[in-house]
Structure 1
Amino acid sequence: MELTELGWKDFFQQQIREQEITMLPARVYRQDLGRYHLFSPQGDLTGILPGGLLQQASSRAQLPTVGDWVLTTPTDEADESSVVIERTLSRISKFSRKEAGDRVEEQVVAANIDTVFIVCGLDDNFNINRLERYLFLTRSCGADPAIVLNKADLCPDVVEKIQDLELVARGTPTHIVSAQTGEGMDELLAYIGPGQTVALLGSSGVGKSTIINALLGYARFDTGEVREDDSKGRHTTTFREMCRLASGGLIIDTPGMREIQIWTDESSLSMSFSDVEDCATLCRFNDCKHDSEPGCAVQAAISAGELDPARLESFRKFERELTHLAEKQDASTRAEKKKERKKFARSIRNKPSNRSIP
């Protein structure tokens, strides 16, 4: 198998240092406790991460994750399938969210992906606000988003749902599929050509694993039924895993996300709400709040029917979340620096004195 079949690009080749030429590049397809499962031109490998690399990482986001490229060396000449991960190469793209709960830390869901399939069910799971959040997070991740509306066989009003979605989709490719009947699967396969990597994201019960099984042509992942009263499903996928398709592409299954807390910056705001920002540049005052200020081009566009007021409302919502995230990140950084200063002070106090005792 060639490296390019696993998604290798010039971007990664250019990162190889002279002293690393003899190392074997491999790609993480699954992570277990303390071990990484890797695809490589020499076959599947099992990698371990040295303690030194663990200590150097300032956060878990810097550790290898599914989709990452790593450089490896053999641990034992007698067992070529066991390797040591020497370095993780820089990522060309990544989909991240804030860690669930109170931790102010980035969680990298998938790395080095070309396309993100944002999957939503056409049953009672259909949620435009949730789709908008996923789209917002993918705008600056370096991968192209595509919306996949699954369970078309259960929806009598597909056209109406598509019309409702247009306000937030804003030209994002949208595909109507049914993993059960096979409808639309060929459209999805077109994204996953040789060396291309696609990650599926969405809440539990939308049919991500069922779609992957349909694309693979066999039942690789467990699937579960959804509750009839609210179309919510249970987590049948509990870990992330990348699989190879017969077409030569790679596809990543991810667990359903109960929380989609944002981890991005203002670039996502600009890319997601260019219509609002284009209007804002025409406001009379640079610090216009777009409420009742004289000369507000945003309110003028809303009054003229050129801008949907829901777009301004969403813009403000994400703007507030980004501000709150930045404040929490600053507080976390200050706390970490304080912790490091205390650690350094303790090491100085505990350092043995070299002065001679008379």
Structure 2
Amino acid sequence: MTRDFSQFLPNQSKAQKTEHKLSTLDILGWQPFFAQQVSAEEILETPPVRIIEIHRNSLHVLGEDIDTLIPSGPDATVGDWLLYNPKLPNSSKVLERKSVFQRRAAGTAWDLQLIAANVDTAFIVSSCNQDFNIARLERYIALALEAEVTPVIILTKIDLCEDATPYIEQAQSISDLVTVVTLDARGEEPQQKLAQWCRPRQTLVFLGSSGVGKSTLTNALAGKSDIATQAVREDDDKGRHTTTTRQLHMSPQGFTILDTPGMREIQLTDAAAGVSDLFSDYQEIAHQCRFRDCKHETEPGCAIQAALETEEIDSVRVARWKKLVAEEQFNSSTLAQRKSKDKSLGKLIKQVKKNSRK
């Protein structure tokens, strides 16, 4: 089924002026999607709060006249909305998510790592230097498309390269669903060029490697100067880890911004739809293959190989596509097998308890 991505395209109309003063919940991103999940009685007894930061043993939550730490009981991440239970904080209910960013946890574990929840726009930041990596940008975009979050590529440090045109052209070639913006993160350009996405009740997230300017951009949009920033190393243009935790920041204009630590390893899992949307042109060609399970290698009647021979498609991009598809399928199947085992184990434990009571 073709998914509707019309909301990803930039809205050229001017944002409507706010008719009334925004409440704390408005600024935090409270929207009808979350309001329709709760009743008036629930809101009175368990008011909504949003997780703005996660500590080792606690969650920092913020709401209307609420700013506190609660034990790390709920299975939640930064950006999640909770119904705060003041009597039993660790039993606070997590509301259904509008969107979620997740990846396979780093290392050998097959666990999922939640990155952020309830995001509206993902600013994927890359510098016009050695940090620029089109394959990594594609991974971030696939994550955003999977979550049905608007992806926007931001190219920074264009003033430090002789010609930014190759970087811009490569970024624009990734997908028609993605807008590419170039700017100087240190001046007034972030507020000017990103204004169409920075609307009241919206949640934005900056994703990218260390040292590309995510914290500088967060400072610019949030009207702050207290978020630490560092320059990249001069010898290899690689960034230093400045941001070490994910944290939501409230802006004076009524939206929230999530700054994230640099992530160089993005292992996709449960993101088949995102990868398919990113490479929708190749998916259409692949549907013409003679065999449904075609691996696009040496199979007879392979439409992908035929398109490569006529140079209709790019062999380098095809290789990246096949790699992402294989990686996503491998990681997702492994997680599915683990979930199945956990489910079987749960049934076994219930049966043992049932037999013991007889």
- Same fold by TM-score, threshold 0.5 exceeded? yes
Structure 2 distance, partners of 1:266, 1:84, is 34
Which of these residues, 91, 112, 116, is aligned with residue 118 of structure 2? 112
Confirm or deny that 1:199 pairs with 2:205: yes
Aligned residue type for 2:334: K
Confirm or deny that 1:24 pairs with 2:47: yes
Structure 2 distance, partners of 1:183, 1:348, is 65
| Farther off after superposition, 106-115 or 169-178 | 169-178
Structure 2 distance, partners of 1:259, 1:296, is 32
Report what 1:268 is aligned to: 274
Structure 1 distance, partners of 2:333, 2:232, is 38
Structure 1 distance, partners of 2:305, 2:330, is 25
Q: Decide whether the 8 Å contact of 2:31 with 2:201 is kept in 1.
A: no
Which of these residues, 82, 86, 89, is aligned with residue 92 of structure 2? 86
SS in structure 2 at match of 1:38: strand
User: Larger relative CO (CA 8 A, sep 6+): 1 or 2?
Assistant: 2
Q: Deviations over 1:302-322 (max 9, x none)?
A: 333332222321221112112
Identical columns (%): 38
Q: Deviations over 1:28-74 (max 9, x none)?
A: 11122332222212243333355xxx5xxxxxxxx121111100133
Matches within 5 A, 1:207-286: 207-286=213-292
| Farther off after superposition, 291-300 or 7-16 | 291-300
Deviation at 1:335, TM superposition (A): 4.5
Count of paired positions: 335
Residue 177 and residue 230 in structure 1: after superposition, are their counterparts in 2 closer, same or farther (change >3 A)? same
Report what 1:68 is aligned to: 80
Confirm or deny that 1:127 pairs with 2:149: no
Q: Decide whether the 8 Å contact of 1:49 with 1:85 is kept in 2.
A: no
Which of these residues, 34, 41, 49, is aligned with residue 57 of structure 2? 34
Report what 2:317 is aligned to: 311
Q: Decide whether the 8 Å contact of 1:153 with 1:181 is kept in 2.
A: no
Q: TM-score normalized by structure 2?
A: 0.84
Structure 1 distance, partners of 2:72, 2:233, is 41
Aligned residue type for 2:30: W
| Farther off after superposition, 288-297 or 315-324 | 288-297
Q: Decide whether the 8 Å contact of 1:120 with 1:149 is kept in 2.
A: yes
Structure 2 distance, partners of 1:132, 1:269, is 9
Residue 85 and residue 151 in structure 1: after superposition, are their counterparts in 2 closer, same or farther (change >3 A)? farther
Q: Decide whether the 8 Å contact of 1:70 with 1:85 is kept in 2.
A: no
Confirm or deny that 1:328 pairs with 2:334: yes
Residue 172 and residue 9 in structure 1: after superposition, are their counterparts in 2 closer, same or farther (change >3 A)? same
Q: TM-score normalized by structure 1?
A: 0.84
Deviation at 1:234, TM superposition (A): 2.1
Report what 1:98 is aligned to: 104
SS in structure 2 at match of 1:164: helix
| Farther off after superposition, 139-148 or 26-35 | 26-35
SS in structure 1 at match of 2:86: strand
| Farther off after superposition, 163-172 or 276-285 | 163-172
Deviation at 1:348, TM superposition (A): 7.8
Structure 1 distance, partners of 2:43, 2:142, is 39
Aligned residue type for 1:245: S
Q: Decide whether the 8 Å contact of 2:175 with 2:278 is kept in 1.
A: no
Deviation at 1:288, TM superposition (A): 3.2
Structure 2 distance, partners of 1:265, 1:310, is 21
Structure 1 distance, partners of 2:113, 2:226, is 25
Alpha-carbon RMSD: 2.6
Confirm or deny that 1:298 pairs with 2:310: no
Q: Deviations over 1:229-249 (max 9, x none)?
A: 111122111111001111111
